[in-house]
Amino acid sequence: MSVRTTTARRLAPVVGLVLVAFFVVLAVSKPRGEANVSSPLIGNPAPAVRSTVINGGDFDLARRKGSWVVLNFFNSTCVPCRNEHPELVKFAEQQASLVGGAELFTVVNDDSDEAVTAFFDKNGGEWNKVRDPDGTIAVAFGVAKVPETWVIDPSGFVRMRVAGEITAPLLSSRIAAMGGPVEGVGS
Amino acid sequence: MLAGGLSGPLGRGALLVGVVAAAFGAVAAITAARESGRGEDARTARLIPRFVGLAFLASLGSMVAMEWAMITRDFSLQYVQDHGSRSTPALYNFTAVWSALEGSILLWIFALALSAALVVWRYRRRLDDQLIAWAVAVICIVMVFFFVLSFGPANPFAEGAPGVTDGPGPNPLLQNHILVVFHPPILYLGYVGFTVPFAFAIAALVTGRVGEGWLIETRRWTLFAWGFLTIGIILGGWWSYEVLGWSGVWAWDPVENASFLPWLTGTAYIHSVLVQERRGMLRVWNLSLLLATFSLTILGTFLTRSGVLNSVHAFSESDIGTYLLAFFGVIVLVSLVLIGWRGDELRSPGAIDSPVSREGAFLANNVLFSVFAFVVLLGTVFPLIIEALQDRQISVAEPFFDRLSTPIGIAMLALMCIAPVLPWRKASTELLRDRLFWPAWCGIGALVISIAVGADGLTPLLAFGLGGFSGGAALRQVVLATRRQGWRGLVGRANGGMIVHLGVILIAVALTASNAFTHSQELRLRQGVPASFAGHTFELVGFREEKDDRSTAVKALVVVDGEKAYAPAITKFLNMGMNIGTPSVKSTWRYDIYLTLEPPVKKDSGEARIKVFVKPLIMWLWIGGGLMAVGTVLAAFPGRRRRRPTDPTSAPIDLSRDEVTA
């Protein structure tokens, strides 16, 4: 009995310590939010996707190396896509004012050229809209639902995936935090 | 809609009444316990039913108010704006109430208040008993916490922006299968049900009545909580299978783990408690398991609802994390302090004589379940630990869990072969040889059949062989018991438990088979041109489009084996911008053929990409789940009261105690 008592006495502080440490870990963990979704692609080279742009020209992701690229998967009938559009316009303006600002591309998901053009004519947004007629790009990235926004760094590595509506400050600040262009620096 | 605008204030009012009633209930119960502790007439005890009854009515009222708001489409409430819509069908509109965080807390409270009311009703004549009064007090305190949570940070009745006349409806995944009606409430009954044994455990520690009395009081509660949790988890797997389109039932997602953790510790407890009842041993351990089970339900809710972990169940997130974490901390602290304080009285009177005995097997069972729980907990929170230490994000996925759960599962099967036939105290070699004879032949038979139908690989063959062996062991017990006692051989803890074992074994075998021997391929089907795969033919005969206010669905009609058309679909939910694939499954007792339609769908091309999974034995998962449910109910029936002289016996237990549960 006495042996067991001493063992228990010795074990108790250890158990307590582990529990306290566990509690601290839980207490300091930050909510990740719905926005930031994991993907096996993160930290890996982006898929080499190619397509055409609605207003003419080709799109080849591999040739965008050297600048930060933001892909926004979009459908003109999807309500969250429409909601986040003003934020994307703001983001594009912000980045255009920076040295080495990110390039924004809309990747059209299951939608017609006419509908997309009409939407952008009405709501603004001068950036390129990439066609994805058979969903190859969406499949290559593993897009679950629109809108989704992906960030690819100048070396061509996927750095972030955001599912759902995004805001301009979030996108800019996250890109800056990953070593991208920062407002007020360089320009 | 005059009444519509009222549900907000009414619901909130009900929640406030709930907070107050539960708080007074706790105070009354503690006062009654102290009165009776001083040997006075515990008159305050008479107030307990009133307060608990009021709290129950309050929870019912808030639930009804929320349903009413949802049904009348009362868009003055934020919750209805976010999760209701005019176009949601009635059934899914009804379940929309628990389709997000705030509403599911309401459901939780309702289940909790219901348990509280049942406890008070069950012990209505013994409320002045210290143990009961303290248990009621603990339940009331837990109830206060959840009422406050719902009244404050997770308020489902918050007013929304004015002028909103329609909303997006619940998450599309929560409005296309009937199981949304059953899976969440049943799971919650399981979670919440563990509050009752937890409360009795705390009461036992507080009052110092740490003997076996409180165990016997809570035996059936624990069993039902465990049963509901089991069924809830299995229904969750079924739902995932029927809805999510990846053909799996379990993905080690944090929310799944959150339900699995208390199930593991709860299962361990259900086994080890027998040792304490029989031999008075493992007292600290049993208490710890119960306290851990309840803590883990709260921890799981924290992990998945605070947003610290990503999950496919991200239907709801908010800032209630801090509250849940604090509550978890309090529970763990109180439990540890109480156990430390009562430490000396918890010393068990006996020791285990031989590892090859019933109690030895239960101990081994507990080691396995605890290790399993530790592995799952570690895998679930490991990303958080790494993030705290190294400030980078990682994810722990299936390979980790699969690799570690396979050997544990095999060991559990092996234990299930031997444990049921072991007597208490000590087993001799001859006895084992005699009792294991037929079960072992069942195992060899299962192995031979598996090899004959083409199974290969070490793990699957081991699982099938041990499955046959353990199934034989469980059947042997059932057969012997029914031969001795007729239908009574099916009820009672030991016999019902063997039926549960059979269900578990079916599930283990079905999971092994479907994990190891699934064939899948993506077929590019052209209309009118049959394709074949894995011995089955598939022919695309056309498309069907279905439209309603909220969605447009495209279904591909695929005739399987020339018999019947199955229609995997992709549904586009207009409000959400979400495409949801819905699988279509042909189920037979030998295999399932699981079809999903892959985007993009172009009807005019006369072509469709169909992913086909041929999965063996899936139906036995659900049959096993049903058997577990049946076994649990049978186990809850009182078995034989008196032991026969021929039964294996052991240290004496006080049989008069059994009268209490009768």
CA–CA gap between residue B636 and residue B495 (Å, rounded): 10
Please judge whether B332 and A23 are an interchain contact, meaning their C-beta atoms are less than 8 angstroms apart.
Answer: yes
Please check whether residues A160 and A109 belong to one and the same domain: yes
Contact between residue B8 and residue B157 where contact means Cβ atoms under 8 Å apart: yes
**End-to-end Cα spacing for chain A:** 76
Please judge whether B574 and A12 are an interchain contact, meaning their C-beta atoms are less than 8 angstroms apart.
Answer: no
CATH of the domain at A163: 3.40.30.10
Q: Which residues of B touch A174 (CB under 8 A)?
A: none
CA–CA gap between residue A112 and residue A121 (Å, rounded): 14
| Residue B304 confidence (pLDDT) | 75
Establish if B485 touches chain A: CB-CB under 8 angstroms.
no
Please judge whether B384 and A12 are an interchain contact, meaning their C-beta atoms are less than 8 angstroms apart.
Answer: no
CA–CA gap between residue B33 and residue A4 (Å, rounded): 33
Q: Which amino acid is at B448?
A: V
Q: Which residues of A touch B579 (CB under 8 A)?
A: 110, 145
Residue with the bigger pLDDT between A182 and B546: it is: B546
Other C-beta atoms lying within 10 Å of the C-beta of residue B566: 20
Please check whether residues A8 and A56 belong to one and the same domain: no
Residue A98 belongs to domain spanning? 50-177
- CA-based nearest residue in chain B for residue A19: B332
| Residue A183 confidence (pLDDT) | 60
Nearest to B154, CA basis, from B233, B62, B88, B85: B62
CA–CA gap between residue B632 and residue B226 (Å, rounded): 9
Q: Which residues of B touch A148 (CB under 8 A)?
A: none
Please report, rounded to a whole number, the percentage of residues in chain B having pLDDT higher than 70.
Answer: 92
CA distances from B417 to A177, B223, B550, B587 (A): 57, 23, 53, 30
ipTM of the complex: 0.71
Query: Exposed (0-12), middle (13-18) or buried (19+): which is B308, by Cβ within 10 Å?
Result: buried
Establish if B310 touches chain A: CB-CB under 8 angstroms.
yes
| B65 contact partners, CB below 8 Å, separation of at least 6 | B7, B8, B10, B11, B14, B157
Kindly state whether residue A6 falls inside one of the protein's structural domains. Answer: yes
Q: Which residues of B touch A19 (CB under 8 A)?
A: 332, 336
Please judge whether B317 and A31 are an interchain contact, meaning their C-beta atoms are less than 8 angstroms apart.
Answer: yes
Give the tens place of pLDDT for each residue, B34-76: 988 888 877 888 999 999 999 999 999 999 999 999 999 998 8
Contact between residue B467 and residue B413 where contact means Cβ atoms under 8 Å apart: yes
Kindly state whether residue A103 falls inside one of the protein's structural domains. Answer: yes
Kindly state whether residue A38 falls inside one of the protein's structural domains. Answer: no
Contact between residue B607 and residue B462 where contact means Cβ atoms under 8 Å apart: no
CA–CA gap between residue B555 and residue B446 (Å, rounded): 41
Portion 103-162 of A in contact with B at CB < 8 A: 110, 134-135, 145-147
Contact between residue B164 and residue B77 where contact means Cβ atoms under 8 Å apart: no
Give the tens place of pLDDT for each residue, B334-385: 999 998 888 777 776 667 778 888 888 999 999 999 999 999 999 988 888 8
Portion 28-57 of A in contact with B at CB < 8 A: 28-34, 36-38
Query: Exposed (0-12), middle (13-18) or buried (19+): which is B232, by Cβ within 10 Å?
Result: buried
Block means of pLDDT (10 residues each) for chain A, 187 residues, are 62 83 80 57 85 87 85 83 86 86 89 88 89 86 84 88 81 81 54
Please check whether residues A72 and A10 belong to one and the same domain: no
Give the tens place of pLDDT for each residue, B632-642: 999 988 765 54
Q: How does residue B123 score in pLDDT terms, banded at 50, 70 and 90?
A: very high
| Residue B345 confidence (pLDDT) | 77
Give the tens place of pLDDT for each residue, B86-116: 888 889 999 999 888 889 999 999 999 999 9
Residue B129 backbone zone (phi > 0: left; psi -120 to 50: alpha; other: beta): beta
Sign of CA dihedral B261, B289, B489, B193: negative
Place of tokens 């797997």: B237
| Residue B370 confidence (pLDDT) | 94
Where in chain B are the domains?
1-170, 521-616
Establish if A10 touches chain B: CB-CB under 8 angstroms.
no
CA–CA gap between residue B464 and residue B449 (Å, rounded): 9
Give the tens place of pLDDT for each residue, B427-458: 888 888 889 999 999 999 999 999 999 888 89
Contact between residue B517 and residue B460 where contact means Cβ atoms under 8 Å apart: yes
Kindly state whether residue A44 falls inside one of the protein's structural domains. Answer: no
Across the interface, of A15, A26, A36, the residue whose CB is closest to B325 is A26
| A38 contact partners, CB below 8 Å, separation of at least 6 | A161, B310, B393, B395
Residue with the bigger pLDDT between B599 and A75: it is: A75
Strands B607-616 and B584-587, how do they pair? unpaired
Please check whether residues A55 and A13 belong to one and the same domain: no
- CA-based nearest residue in chain A for residue B394: A38
| Residue B315 confidence (pLDDT) | 46
Query: Exposed (0-12), middle (13-18) or buried (19+): which is A43, by Cβ within 10 Å?
Result: exposed
**A116: its two tokens:** 């997309």
Please judge whether B302 and A134 are an interchain contact, meaning their C-beta atoms are less than 8 angstroms apart.
Answer: no
Kindly state whether residue A43 falls inside one of the protein's structural domains. Answer: no
Q: How far is CA B585 from the centre of its chain?
A: 25
Across the interface, of B302, B325, B599, the residue whose CB is closest to A135 is B599
- CA-based nearest residue in chain A for residue B396: A38
The mean pLDDT of chain B is 87
Per residue in B237-260, is it b (16+ CB within 10 Å) or e — as a string? bbbbbbbbbbbbbbbbbbbbbbbb
Q: Which residues of A touch B309 (CB under 8 A)?
A: 32
Number of domains in chain A: 2
Please judge whether A79 and B577 are an interchain contact, meaning their C-beta atoms are less than 8 angstroms apart.
Answer: yes
Please check whether residues A102 and A133 belong to one and the same domain: yes
Q: Which residues of B touch A29 (CB under 8 A)?
A: 308, 384, 387-388
Kindly state whether residue A42 falls inside one of the protein's structural domains. Answer: no
Please judge whether B576 and A145 are an interchain contact, meaning their C-beta atoms are less than 8 angstroms apart.
Answer: yes
Please check whether residues A146 and A55 belong to one and the same domain: yes
Q: How does residue B651 score in pLDDT terms, banded at 50, 70 and 90?
A: very low
Q: Which residues of A touch B321 (CB under 8 A)?
A: 31
- Does residue B646 carry a pLDDT above 80? no
Inter-chain CB pairs, A–B, below 8 Å: 76
Q: How does residue B311 score in pLDDT terms, banded at 50, 70 and 90?
A: low
List, as own/partner pairs, every contact residues B16-19 make where C-beta atoms lie below 8 angstroms and the sequence separation is at least 24, other chains included.
B16/B151, B17/B54, B17/B55, B17/B57, B17/B58, B17/B61, B18/B55, B18/B58, B18/B59, B18/B62, B18/B109, B18/B113, B18/B143, B18/B147, B18/B151, B19/B144, B19/B147, B19/B148, B19/B151
Q: How does residue B220 score in pLDDT terms, banded at 50, 70 and 90?
A: confident
CA–CA gap between residue A106 and residue B33 (Å, rounded): 67
| Nearest-10 Cα torsion for B288, B289, B292, B293 | -150
Cis-peptide, bond into residue B600, ω within 30° of zero: yes
Write out the E strands in A4-68: 50-52, 58-60
Cis-peptide, bond into residue A147, ω within 30° of zero: yes
| Residue B658 confidence (pLDDT) | 43
Establish if B461 touches chain A: CB-CB under 8 angstroms.
no
Across the interface, of B168, B309, B385, the residue whose CB is closest to A25 is B385
CA–CA gap between residue B272 and residue B292 (Å, rounded): 14
- Does residue B582 carry a pLDDT above 70? yes
Please judge whether A37 and B576 are an interchain contact, meaning their C-beta atoms are less than 8 angstroms apart.
Answer: no
Nearest to B518, CA basis, from B534, B507, B530: B534
- Does residue B607 carry a pLDDT above 70? yes
For B275, the enclosing helix (H) or strand (E) is helix B254-279
CA–CA gap between residue A50 and residue A68 (Å, rounded): 17
CA distances from B531 to B522, B528, B536, B539, B605 (A): 11, 10, 8, 6, 17
Please check whether residues A24 and A61 belong to one and the same domain: no
DSSP annotation of A29: P
Per residue in B65-99, is it b (16+ CB within 10 Å) or e — as a string? bbbbbbbbbbbbbbbbbbbbbeebeeebbebbbbb
**B121: its two tokens:** 């009703």
Rank A66-75, B132-141, B310-319 by mean pLDDT and report only the highest.
Answer: B132-141
Q: SS3 for B577?
A: coil
Please judge whether B308 and A8 are an interchain contact, meaning their C-beta atoms are less than 8 angstroms apart.
Answer: no
| Residue B2 confidence (pLDDT) | 40
Q: Which residues of A touch B332 (CB under 8 A)?
A: 19, 23
- Does residue B280 carry a pLDDT above 90? no
Candidate from A22-31, A146-155, B244-253, B528-537 with smallest mean pLDDT: A22-31
Please judge whether A79 and B576 are an interchain contact, meaning their C-beta atoms are less than 8 angstroms apart.
Answer: yes
